[in-house]
Structure 1
Amino acid sequence: MDKLILYFQYPFVRYAMIVGVLIAMCSSLLGVTLVLKRFSFIGDGLSHVAFGAMAVAAVLNFTNNMLFILPVTIVCAILLLRTGQNTKIKGDAAVAMISVSALAIGYMLMNIFSTGPNVSGDVCSTLFGSTSILTLTSAQVKVCVILSVLVVILFVFFYHKIFCVTFDESFAKATGMKTDCYNLLIAVITAVIIVLAMNLVGSLLISALIIFPALSAMRIFKSFLSVTICSVVLSVVCAVLGLLLSILAGTPVGSTIVVTDMVAFGVFSVIGKLTGR
C-alpha cells in the first residue's frame, strides 16, 4: 500500500489510471452489442488497421499520430461494414483481407523506413502494448476524456436503437428504422475505441477488452441492460486491478489487464454454473 501511495503521487500514474478506466468503460459498452451481433471480429480487424496507420504516421513523422490514425481507422470501419454486406465478399473474408493487408504494410514500412534502432522492439510494443500508457501527457489525457465522453453520450442517446438493431435487425428494418445508419454508428464508435485502446493494451490485445467483460457478464445475467452494466463495472475493475498489478510487479500493462479479464471470466463461469444460470 505504501508503494502504491508513493506511485500515485506522480501525475503520469494518475493519468494512466484515468485513461485505463475510460478505455475499459467504453470498450465494454460496445462489447455486448458486438458479441451479440457476431461483430467481435471487427475489433480484431480494426486493431490491425490501426497498427498499419500508426506505422505510416511514424514514417511521416507526425507529431500527433492520432490525428492520422483515427480517421484512417474510421474509414476502414466503414469499408468493412460496406464490404461485409457484399454478397461476393463475405464479412469474415473482408475483415481478413483488410486487416492482414494493413498489418503487412505496417510492418514493411517500419522496416524500410526505420525511425529507431530497435524495429523489433517497436513492433512488439505496438502489438502487445508498452509503457507508453505511463508516459501520457495532459493533452493526450484530455483527448481521451473528450472522445470517451462522446462515446458514452452516443451510446446512451441511441441505446434503444442499438438494442433493436442488436437483437432483431430484420424486424427493425421492416418497421422503417434506418438500420444501416445505426450499424455505421456502431462501426465508427468501435473504431474510436480501438484507437484509444492501442496505448493501453496494444493492437493485438484490444479484442480482449471488448469480448471478455461481455462474455463474463453473460454467464450470470440475461437482460441486455443488466449484462451491459455488469460488463462496464467488471471491465473497469479489471482495468484498475491490472494497472495496479502491473505497477507493483513490473509486468506489461496490456498483458496484465487481459490476464485479469481472463481470470474474471473463469470466476463468472464457475458462479454461473453453480447458480444454474
Structure 2
Amino acid sequence: MLEKIIMYMQYPFVRYAIIVGVLIALCSSLLGVTLVLKRFSFIGDGLSHVAFGAMAIATVINMTDKMFIILPVTILCAVLLLKTGKNTNIKGDAAIAMISVGALAFGYLLMNVFSTSSNLTGDVCSTLFGSTSILTLTKEEVLICAILSVSVVLIFILFYNKIFAVTFDEDFAKAVGTKADTYNLLIAVVIAVIIVLAMNLVGSLLISALVIFPALSAMRLFNNFKMVTMFSAIISVVCAFFGMMISILAGTPVGSTIVAVDVVAFVICYFSGMLIGGARA
C-alpha cells in the first residue's frame, strides 16, 4: 500500500488535489467552531444550496469560469441571511431554510429546463455529492484556492480576539465598543468563500460536515476556545488527507469518503471524551 501511495504522489494532479483538500479543510474548521458556538451551524448548508443555484445559472449561460457568478451570489446571500435573521420577523433558522430550499429547487429547475448535457442526473449528483473534478485541477485553480485559503487563515488570525468576543458574548462586545455587526458580516463572507471553495471537494450537500464535525470532535476533548480551534484544525486536515488517500486508493467518491472519515473521528473523540471525563471524575 505504501508503494501505491508513493506512486500516486508522483502525479501532479494527485498532489494538487491533496493540497486543495487540506487547505479547504483547514479553513472550514477554523470558522466551524465559531458557527457551532453561535448556534448558526446550518448557514453552511444554506449557503451551499445557494452556491448550487448560482452554479446552475452559470452552467445555463455557458460561463467558462463559474466562480465569477458563484462567489458574489453566495457572499450576497450570506450577508442577506445575517441581516434577515436579525432585523425582520423571519428569524435565522427560517431564513436559512427558505433560501436553502429555494436556491436548490431553482437551480435544479434551471438545469432541467435549459439542459445542454446528455447526463443531467450525473451532473446534478456530482455537484451535490462531490465529483472527480478535484482530480483535474489546474495549477491556476490551485493557486487561486491557495490565495483564498491563506486570506481566510490570515483574517482569522488577525481578528481572532474580535471573533472570540463576538462568539461568546455579542452584547458585551458591543458594550465595550466592538463593532459586532461588522465582525459577524466578516464571518459570513469568509464562510461564503469557504463554501465555494469546498464545492468541488465534497459537493454542496456535504459541505456542512467539513464545518461541523471537526468542531464537535474537538469539543468532546477540550473546553478552551483556543484548544478547540487548534485541535479542530488538526483533526480536519488529518481527516481530509486520509479521506482523499482512501478515495484515491479504493476508488470511492472523494467527498463522501472525507465525510465518513470525519464521522469516524467524531465517534473516536466522543468516546475518548467520555473516558477522559470519567478518569477526571
**How do residues 221-260 of structure 1 correspond to structure 2 at under 5 angstroms?**
221-260=222-261
- Indicate whether 1:185 and 2:169 are aligned: no
**Paired position in structure 2 for 1:127:** 128
**How do residues 45-64 of structure 1 correspond to structure 2 at under 5 angstroms?**
45-64=46-65
Q: Distance in 1 between matches of 2:116 and 2:168?
A: 47
**How do residues 35-184 of structure 1 correspond to structure 2 at under 5 angstroms?**
35-184=36-185
Q: Distance in 2 between matches of 1:147 and 1:40?
A: 22
Of all paired residues, the percent bearing the same amino acid is: 73
> How far did residue 87 of structure 1 move?
3.8
- Indicate whether 1:211 and 2:212 are aligned: yes
Q: Distance in 2 between matches of 1:200 and 1:46?
A: 15
Q: Distance in 2 between matches of 1:87 and 1:194?
A: 25
Q: Distance in 2 between matches of 1:258 and 1:74?
A: 24
Q: Distance in 2 between matches of 1:174 and 1:238?
A: 40
Q: Distance in 1 between matches of 2:9 and 2:27?
A: 24
TM-score, normalisation: structure 1: 0.99
Does the residue aligned with 2:7 lie in a helix, a strand or coil? helix
> How far did residue 4 of structure 1 move?
1.3
Unaligned runs of 5+ residues in structure 1 are none
- 1:159-193 deviation digits (Å, cap 9, x = unpaired): 00000000000111111211000000000000000
> How far did residue 10 of structure 1 move?
1.1
**Paired position in structure 2 for 1:21:** 22
> How far did residue 254 of structure 1 move?
0.2
Q: Distance in 2 between matches of 1:135 and 1:52?
A: 23
Does the residue aligned with 1:219 lie in a helix, a strand or coil? helix
Q: Distance in 2 between matches of 1:273 and 1:4?
A: 35
**Paired position in structure 2 for 1:262:** 263
Does the residue aligned with 1:23 lie in a helix, a strand or coil? helix
- 1:182-235 deviation digits (Å, cap 9, x = unpaired): 000000000000000000000000000000000000001111000000000000
Letter in 2 for 1:220: L
Q: Distance in 1 between matches of 2:262 and 2:245?
A: 14
Unaligned runs of 5+ residues in structure 2 are none
Does the residue aligned with 2:63 lie in a helix, a strand or coil? coil
Letter in 2 for 1:229: M
Q: Distance in 2 between matches of 1:97 and 1:264?
A: 32
Alpha carbon RMSD of aligned pairs, Å? 0.8
Moved over 6 A (4+): none
Q: Distance in 2 between matches of 1:65 and 1:87?
A: 32
Q: Distance in 1 between matches of 2:140 and 2:109?
A: 31
- 1:90-114 deviation digits (Å, cap 9, x = unpaired): 1111111111111011000111111
Worse overlay, 63-72 or 22-31: 63-72
> How far did residue 86 of structure 1 move?
2.5
Number of aligned pairs? Answer: 277
> How far did residue 252 of structure 1 move?
0.2
**Paired position in structure 2 for 1:7:** 8
> How far did residue 7 of structure 1 move?
1.2
